[in-house]
Chain A
Amino acid sequence: MKTVKVLGPGCARCKALTEMVRQAALQAGVDIELEKIEDMAAIVSHGVMSTPGLVIDGKLVHSGSLPDAQKVVAWLLA
């Protein structure tokens, strides 16, 4: 079980990333607990400067754009 957080104030790209993570988890067959973080203070405290940000098991793996879907799978399997 991995905890995954999508950081973003609710813009379309953040929603797209949330969906992408869900798909990637299915594809990778990894159990995840997905959380969407919209609170600005919480977003900033992860060191994210441009949204959306993606945090897996407490580690920031990506920010500022939609990542490649294959990369998301790879991060989930790592």
Chain B
Amino acid sequence: MFTFPICREINEEPAMKPETSFFRTESSRSLRWALGVVGATVLWVAAYAHLIEFADAVLGLIGLERATPLGEAVHFFFYDTPKVMLLLTGIVFIMGVIQTFFSPERTRAILSGKRTGAGNVLAATLGIVTPFCSCSAVPLFIGFLSAGVPLGVTFSFLISAPMVNEVALVLLFGMFGWKVAALYLGLGLLVAIFAGLVIGQMRMERHLEDWVLAIQARSAEGHESAGMSWVERGQAGLGHIREIVTKVWPYVVAGIALGAGIHGYVPEDFMASFMGKDVWWAVPAAVVLGVPMYTNAAGIIPVVEALIGKGAALGTVLAFMMSVIALSAPEMIILRKALRPRLIATFAGVVALGILLVGYVFNAVL
């Protein structure tokens, strides 16, 4: 999850103001929160149910017809933007609350001493729910290793955390339905597990920088994450919305605008000619193209949707998307502080190979 343009923390988020004077007692405060959550949910559902009407109305106001390419593009934009923003806000809040249960310290405690195999599966799974920012990738990496988490297991976590993120999942769900979302989740986990196992097998510990090996990290005393009240967890959810949505929305709008252009102007089945199922080189080309590129899930998915609408094969497009999200130049540069080039190259290579396989499997199965 979140990792963008380098780091979640690029948008600073102001401290949450304590509102103690406003709420006289703890229980009335909880009540207000419960009512607020219910009210927001009702509004959310109502808005989500009227997306098409909204886009139609906007089109009517401008005086465009859906039959024209421009009309179709504009309709796509005004349908998708509110839809994606609604989905994003909802899921980011829920994940913000869930993440209060999984601090990196806790995840490390769960993983330490786990063996290769089961450990990789667990690490990849925890990667979904543990808050992660690529600017913390190095301390996290070292924190794991120093607590006795094997190198391969650590990598499973490090691959799964950015790739299988809540934003990608919810957008895939919103646009292609639960089957595609579930496949993405399953295959993303599989790539993370497989790549971690391979890196573990290769015994690459000597390709860590010397200072990493020398360090004996003190284990942090457990602070806070335990014993939070539900109101505090809710506040964490709101903070998460502020942090992610304020950062991600320009990408979303840009992605949707690009998607809208493709949707309105690119001829049907145009993409099929070079991103279709029968083009054997399409998957490797998508991966090679995707690795140096970097944007986040929210920006790439509207493009993905538009490409698929024009006949691109799902496996090819997902391979492209995975390589864009999971492997990025900024993260490599950050990891370079702790990892020698051979290990970084192996990491990128193994993950790219995994994504390649996923692309082919997807294209063959669907």
Q: Which residues in A have some Cβ–Cβ distance to B below 8 Å?
A: 9, 11-16, 20, 40-41, 43-51, 59-70
Q: Does B9 contact A12, Cβ atoms closer than 8 Å?
A: yes
Contact between A68 and B104, CB atoms less than 8 A apart: no
Segment with Cβ contacts to A, from B11-19, B84-92, B113-121, B276-284? B11-19
Chain A residue with the shortest CB-CB distance to B214: A41
The total number of A-B Cβ pairs within 8 Å is: 96
Would you call B220 and A47 a contact (CB within 8 A)?
Answer: yes
| Residue pair A62, B7 in contact (C-beta under 8 Å) | no
Q: Which residue of A lies closest to B337 (CB)?
A: A40
Query: Which residues does chain A contribute within 8 Å of B16, judged by CB atoms?
Result: 68
Q: Quick check: B10 and A45 within 8 Å, CB to CB? A: no
Known: A44-B143, A49-B105, A51-B136. 10 other contacts (CB 8 A): A11-B7, A40-B138, A40-B139, A44-B217, A46-B220, A47-B219, A50-B131, A51-B135, A62-B224, A69-B17
By DSSP majority rule, is chain B's interface helix, strand, loop, or mixed?
A: loop
CA distance A14 to B71 in the complex (A): 46
The distance from the CB of B172 to the nearest CB of chain A, in whole angstroms, is 27
Smallest beta-carbon distance B95→chain A, Å = 14
By secondary structure, the A interface counts as mixed
The B123-164 residues at the A interface (CB cut-off 8 A) are 131-133, 135-136, 138-140, 142-144, 146
Interface residue B103 (Cβ < 8 Å from any Cβ of A) = yes
Number of interface residues of B (CB under 8 A): 41
- Bound together, the chains give a CA A45 to CA B18 distance in angstroms of 32
Which residues of the partner chain B approach A61 to less than 8 Å between Cβ atoms? Answer: 223
Within 8 Å CB of A60, what residues of B?
A: 220-221, 223
Give the interface centre of A11, A46, A68 by most chain B CB atoms within 10 Å: A11
Distance A48 CA – B217 CA, assembled complex (angstroms): 9
Would B131 and A64 count as touching, CB distance under 8 A?
yes
Q: How far is the CB of A56 from chain B (nearest CB, A)?
A: 12
Contacts of A43 in B (CB 8 A): 139
Residues B12 and A12 in contact, CB atoms below 8 Å apart: yes
* Pairwise interchain contact A49-B13, C-beta atoms closer than 8 A: no
Q: Cβ of B338 < 8 Å from any Cβ of A?
A: yes
A13, A44, A47: the one contacting B12 at CB < 8 Å is: A13
